[in-house]
Each structure stands twice: as C-alpha cells, then as structure tokens.
C-alpha cells in the first residue's frame, strides 16, 4: 500500500476498508507517513465525507494507537467530561476537582487550543510549573492520590490524536464530525473510564454552528461511547457568546479559581454545576439530579473542591500559591478598555472572532512550535442582552503588544452587534440527550 493510493481513493469519493484505515493511522503514528500526505488525506476526507464504518474504524485505530488504561487500583467509578470546544470554556478546571470531592475519579486527557477555541492544557500550563506531560506511572499515582489527574495526549496514550490534533489545526480540517468523534472518543476511551459527560457546543463560537448539526454530532459521539459499553450523556449548550467573563489562558484559570472559591454567579458557574452533577449521575454515585447539583455546589462552597485543585496543582509540579495569590499567574503588562461606539442592547457577539483576537494578540499558537503569551486575555464586560451606552467598555484587554491595539480595538467593536431592541435571552443548556 502507498499513502498516495489511499489519498486518491478518498479524493475520488471511495470508501476505505478497515485495513486501509488501520495502515494509514499506524503508519502516521509511527512517523512512516509524512504530515503532507496525511494532510492531503484529511482534506480529501473532509471534503468527500467518511462513512459510519470508516468513522468507527478511525476511532478504534486512534484509540489503539496507544495503551488503553485500566485503573484497578481505584475503587471509585471513573468518569470524565469533554467539550467539543468553545471560547472562554474553562469548566474542566472546576468540575474535575468538584466531582472528585463527591466520590468519582477523573482521569482527564485534554487538548490544546484548536482553531479559535481554547485548550484546557494551555490554561493549566499558565500555572507556573504545572506539568501536563506526566508519565503513565505519574498519571496513575496522581489520580490515586488526588482523585483527578489532568494531562494531554502522550506518546503512550492516544498518540495518533496527539499528532492528528495538531495537523488538523494547521490544515483547516477541524470542524468535521467524523474527525471530531475520532479525536475526542479515542482520548476518552483510552482513559479507562466507565462514564462520560459530553458538552457539545452549538453556536458561532463552536465547530457546530447550529443546533441540528450539534445534535447530530452529539448522537455520533454518544453512540460510539455506548457501543463501547460506556455510560454517556450529551448536553447541547450555547456557544453564541464567550462562556463566563474571561477569555485567555491565565485569566481563565483565574476565573476557574474564583469559581472554586464560591463565586457561583453567571453562566459559567451554571454550566459547571450542571456538568459536574451529570458526572455524578453518570457514575451512579447519585441518582437524583437536584441532589447531585446540591452536592456539587456544596463541594465548592465548603472549600473542598478548591483544596482538591490546590492538591492536584502541587502533585503535577505547579505552584499551588496561585490559588491565594493570583498575581503569580502571568498577566499582560498593559490593560486597556475597548469602548462601545454605539448605544443599545448587545444583540450578538462573533464569538469565534473573540477567540481569534486573543490568539492573534499572542494568546494562542499559529504554529505548533510558537510560544504562548499566557498573560493575554479579555475581560468581557458586555454580554448578550446587556444594555450599553456609547463609551461603555465592551471588554478590558490585558496584553503586551501595544502595536496591535488599534487593529484589535476595531476587531472587538466589529465583533459586537448592538441594536435598539432587546434580544431574546439565550438558553445556556439547550438539550440533554
């Protein structure tokens, strides 16, 4: 077999056999197939589609590209949560310690920023010293001691996704359900979990822009998990504006810490409570939804979830003092408001553009080898439905590169739609499947 034959087959609309997909994924993971040929195959697949059988084989091959963990040393049910990607979504940092306090073990494998969306690993690595590249032994040990462990794909676990994730990001082949399913489910199934909560984002800051496509993606993801014997619940949640108040790496970590300190107001906290409660329900440690919500709320208001987060930061080499002293997190040197040039109601926000603004100001990578300016971030003053006057701040920007300010100011203003009529409120949690 030659890679170009499989590229040609997909280019011409053919369906690859499971043997051909296996050969491609194994060859790419072993560095025998170069990026340029894999990129061509990804684009051919993106444009011509993958059948259900091809998607299922892709998931299985990517899953078995590395080890599939078992945690026989841990008696608690193993449950995780994964989001399909959004802007301002730092829920993992709150719900993993909160759920762990309530008696589930959370062996979480996350990703980096993808396209305009932020990545949990980048937010964690904003904490000085925090290591997301634990060895298998370290991962197991941290999970046992803390009830949660937070890492990325490694050469041992989900190595195919480790490479393909970065390649898709650079080749505009991210927003395609079969690839999203293979990426997410190969990581999650490798974690050795019993149950999974999926947060499928829908809206202009998500990869699925409308509810129908989000619902289809949720059905595909949940179907793959259930066929593999896992308990899965999928939520469809709104991503037509940044989640919470902060967008950027260190600032989102700060917002997660504030939430763990008991600041439970607003959409971000609402989603954290719901997702973490669903983790308790999926695991079977709780059967009643309102009791599950109360247990999660209590894990936060009692300070236990914060202490668990402190513990895992320390266990993974990070500086736990960031919890008490947020100044230890990187912060942009310059802070400036970007003001509205109109009065009215905020009726829409181009959420993907907000994500790109943070990225282009240094808060994300253009290429894999780029370093991130963790201190870049935006505080979102104006959310959808807010009434604002000309001169009111839309956002406060924290950054280091002043040369980009004027261009970014224009981009932020263009990303906001302000209209005379008050818009209808957007429900945050649209469906639970």
Residues annotated as catalytic (active site), given as ranges: 82, 161, 168, 183, 187
Q: Alpha carbon 344 to chain centroid distance?
A: 32
- The DSSP bridge pattern shows strands 246-248 and 148-152 to be unpaired
195 sits near ligand URA (criterion: CB under 6 A): no
In angstroms, give the least distance from the CB of 188 to ligand URA: 8
Query: Cα–Cα distance between 191 and 331 in angstroms, integer?
Result: 33
In angstroms, give the least distance from the CB of 21 to ligand URA: 17
Which residue in the shown chain puts its C-beta closest to ligand URA? 183
Closest CB to ligand URA among residues 221, 408: 221
User: Using CB atoms within 10 A of its CB, is residue 62 exposed (0-12), middle (13-18) or buried (19+)?
Assistant: buried
Torsion on CA atoms 303, 304, 305, 308, rounded to nearest 10: 120
Q: Which of residues 36-65 bind ligand URA (CB under 6 A)?
A: none
Closest CB to ligand URA among residues 111, 318: 111
In angstroms, give the least distance from the CB of 121 to ligand URA: 11
Maximal CA-CA distance, the chain: 64
DSSP 404: G
In angstroms, give the least distance from the CB of 85 to ligand URA: 4
Angle among Cα 362, 88, 377 to the nearest 5 degrees reads 35
Among 3, 45, 77, 85, binds ligand URA (CB under 6 A): 85
Query: Cα–Cα distance between 7 and 279 in angstroms, integer?
Result: 40
114 sits near ligand URA (criterion: CB under 6 A): yes
Among 111, 177, 363, 375, binds ligand URA (CB under 6 A): 111
Closest CB to ligand URA among residues 21, 180: 180
Interface characters, 262-281, with ligand URA (x: CB under 6 A) = --------------------
In angstroms, give the least distance from the CB of 174 to ligand URA: 6
One DSSP character per residue, 120-158 reads: HHHHHHTSTT--S---HHHHHHHHHHHSEEEEE--SSSS
Closest CB to ligand URA among residues 180, 222: 180
In angstroms, give the least distance from the CB of 153 to ligand URA: 9
Q: Which of residues 132-191 bind ligand URA (CB under 6 A)?
A: 174, 180, 183-184
Closest CB to ligand URA among residues 89, 360: 89
237 sits near ligand URA (criterion: CB under 6 A): no
Q: Which residues of 151-186 are buried (b: 16+ CB within 10 A; e: fewer)?
A: bbbbeebbbbbbbbbbbbbebebbbbbbbbbbbbbb
Q: Where are the beta strands (DSSP E) in 34-113?
A: 79-83, 106-110
Cβ proximity of 199 and 221 under 8 Å: no
Q: How many CA atoms lie within 13 A of 300 on its CB side?
A: 27
> How many residues lie near ligand URA (CB under 6 A)?
8
Backbone Cα Rg of the chain: 21
Among 29, 57, 84, 173, binds ligand URA (CB under 6 A): 84
Closest CB to ligand URA among residues 183, 340: 183
Q: Given the rule CB under 6 A, which residues bind ligand URA?
A: 84-85, 111, 114, 174, 180, 183-184
């Amino acid at each position: 077999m030659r890679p170009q034959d499989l590229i040609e087959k997909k280019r011409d609309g053919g369906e690859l056999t499971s043997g051909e997909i296996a050969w491609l994924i194994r060859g790419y993971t072993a560095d025998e197939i170069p990026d340029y040929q894999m990129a061509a195959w990804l684009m051919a697949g993106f444009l011509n589609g993958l059948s259900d059988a091809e998607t299922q084989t892709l998931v299985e091959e990517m899953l078995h590209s590395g080890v599939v963990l078992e945690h026989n040393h841990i008696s608690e049910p193993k449950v995780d949560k994964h989001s399909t990607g959004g802007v301002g979504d730092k829920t993992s940092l709150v719900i993993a310690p909160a759920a762990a306090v309530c008696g589930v073990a959370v062996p979480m494998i996350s990703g980096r920023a993808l396209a305009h969306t932020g990545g949990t690993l980048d937010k964690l690595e904003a904490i000085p010293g925090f290591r997301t590249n634990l060895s298998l032994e370290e991962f197991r040990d941290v999970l046992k001691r803390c009830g949660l462990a937070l890492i990325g794909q490694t050469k041992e676990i989900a190595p195919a996704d480790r490479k393909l994730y970065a390649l898709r990001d650079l080749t505009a082949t991210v927003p395609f359900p079969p690839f999203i399913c293979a990426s997410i489910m190969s990581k999650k199934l490798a974690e050795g979990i019993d149950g999974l909560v999926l947060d499928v984002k829908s809206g202009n800051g998500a990869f699925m822009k409308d509810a129908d496509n989000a619902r289809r993606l949720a059905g595909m993801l949940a179907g793959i998990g259930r066929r593999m014997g896992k308990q899965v619940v999928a939520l469809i949640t709104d991503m037509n504006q940044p989640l919470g108040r902060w967008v950027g790496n260190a600032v989102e970590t700060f917002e997660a810490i504030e939430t763990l300190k008991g600041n439970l107001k607003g959409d971000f906290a609402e989603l954290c409570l719901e997702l973490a409660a669903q983790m308790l329900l999926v695991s079977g440690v709780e059967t009643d939804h309102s009791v599950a919500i109360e247990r999660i709320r209590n894990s936060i208001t009692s300070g236990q979830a914060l202490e668990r987060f402190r513990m895992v930061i320390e266990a993974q080499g990070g500086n736990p003092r960031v919890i008490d002293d947020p100044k230890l997190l990187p912060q942009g040197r310059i802070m400036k408001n970007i003001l509205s040039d109109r009065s009215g109601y905020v009726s829409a926000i181009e959420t993907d553009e907000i994500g790109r603004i943070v990225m282009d100001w240094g808060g994300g990578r253009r290429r894999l080898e780029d370093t991130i300016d963790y201190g870049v971030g935006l505080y979102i003053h104006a959310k959808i439905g807010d009434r604002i006057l000309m001169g009111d701040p839309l956002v406060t920007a924290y950054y280091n590169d002043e040369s980009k300010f004027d261009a970014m100011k224009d981009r932020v203003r263009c990303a906001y739609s302000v209209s005379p009529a008050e818009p209808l409120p957007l429900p945050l949690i649209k469906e639970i499947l």
